[in-house]
Amino acid sequence: MRIAFSCPTVPGHLYPMTTLALKMRERGHDVFFLSLVEGEQMVRAAGIEFVPYGEELLPAGELPRRYHILSQLSGAEGLQYTVNLFADACRAALEDGERAILSSRPDALVLDATSRGLNFVALKMGIPFVQVANAMHFDFTGATPLCIFDWPHVATAEGRARNAQGLAGFAQTMAPITVLEQAYVEKNGLNLDWRNPQSSQSQLAVLTQTPREFDFPNDHWPPHYHSTGPLHDPSLRPAVDFPWDRLTGESLIYASMGTLQNGSERIFQAIAAAAQAPGRQLVLSIGHNLDPAKIAPLAPNTIVVPQAPQLDLLKRATLCITHAGLNTVLESLAVGLPMVAIPITNDQPGVAARIAYTKTGVVIPVRELAVDKLQAAIETVLTDPTYRENAQRIQQAIAATNGLELAANLIEGALTGALQAT
């Protein structure tokens, strides 16, 4: 089977999706990536064939420029900026995706659930596809809060009404994308029920990296929805230079705001100030959007790097301070590490809400961030064993599930069955 994979061109999506593609290749399938041009370097570095689309609308260099702007935004402003960015990516898929598919001739597609556009092209062309939620999945049923909100789960009529209001508001935010999709559907005569947000999703299989043990109650999902747990293979992660000789052996706190929301000096300065204490060492992974010299004052043993070997450091750490990006959170849970979360925008509030729900860490919304609050949160997580115990419980569930193998089984079964039925 020749399978095309596609996802947003950022590490948090490309790492799990390239890992999944390599697992399917290991099983004898011919795999390649169908992507905007910015994904080429990471895809080819993983040894996977690359087929670009949308180069005229989003040429090389355009997405990094926009990601730099996004790195400094938060809350509703950050979410709307992301939606507008995804609208252009959707337009690129709708305008050029069919050409790229015809030229590369896949039998089936594996699409990131947050990407929009190629799912409609697949529906038009009659190509089977499955979807993978590499970020937090979106629950459009109203049974649980949508992941853009930091709301706790409330299993009452009032809670469902609140969730429904949130969905209505999100529909307005998504208008730049919905307009493009509706025009494409009308132009191509596709029969979709716009009242049902799931009508344009895969009817074969929808997978989420979020472990059931880390999620709100999810027994309302349809049968083709599956929770696999993280799609990680540490052996495939590229090597990153790091000054290992500067680690002192003190209690290690690792902090990262990911690759998209790392443009705030204020956040890193607060972390640097709050984490300082005798017997502790802080590693700050700040990305490439900030001048490290502006993050001050720093304790003499603090290590600041633009990029870190995150998996290796998490194994050594006693605490992770994170923006609540799903992949960093799952990598922390996979080693039983508790967290302090500072969610900034997009799906991070929903991930953080699940950290609070499972008591695997303490959450401080970015709008409430202050050094004293962060100090208190760090002390709470480090001194109360409940947080580590809960993280270790989910660690055991992740190991028992083996998400990568499970995902490969589900995708293989769904796509093989669909192709045999045609």
Tens of pLDDT along 375-415? 999 999 999 999 999 999 999 999 999 999 999 999 999 99
The first and second tokens of residue 193, run together, are: 């029920």
Question: Could you read off the pLDDT of 335-372 as tens digits, one per residue?
Answer: 999 999 999 999 999 999 999 999 999 999 999 999 99
**Which tens digit of pLDDT belongs to each residue from 296-345?**
789 999 999 999 999 999 999 999 999 999 999 999 999 999 999 999 99
Model pLDDT, residue 197: 79
pTM of the model: 0.96
pLDDT at residue 262, rounded to an integer = 65
Asked if 404 and 20 touch (Cβ cutoff 8 Å), the reply is yes
List, in order of start, the domains of the chain with CATH numbers.
Answer: 2-232+402-421 (3.40.50.2000), 235-400 (3.40.50.2000)
Contacts 24+ apart (CB under 8 A), 364-371: 364/340, 365/150, 366/74, 366/75, 366/267, 366/342, 367/74, 367/75, 369/266, 369/267, 369/270, 369/342, 370/270, 371/270, 371/273, 371/274
Task: Output the tens digit of pLDDT for each of the chain's 422 residues.
Answer: 999 999 999 999 999 999 999 999 999 999 999 999 999 999 999 999 999 999 999 999 999 999 888 888 889 999 999 999 999 999 999 999 999 999 999 999 999 999 899 999 999 999 999 999 999 999 999 999 999 999 999 999 999 999 999 999 999 999 999 999 999 999 999 988 888 878 899 999 999 999 999 999 988 999 999 999 999 988 888 889 999 999 999 999 999 998 777 668 889 999 999 999 999 999 999 988 888 888 878 999 999 999 999 999 999 999 999 999 999 999 999 999 999 999 999 999 999 999 999 999 999 999 999 999 999 999 999 999 999 999 999 999 999 999 999 999 999 999 999 999 87
Q: Residues 110, 20: contact at Cβ < 8 Å? A: yes
Which long-range contacts link 241-250 to residues 24+ away (Cβ below 8 Å)?
242/305, 242/308, 242/309, 242/312, 242/313, 243/303, 243/305, 246/301, 246/303, 247/281, 247/303, 247/316, 248/281, 248/301, 250/279, 250/280, 250/281, 250/301
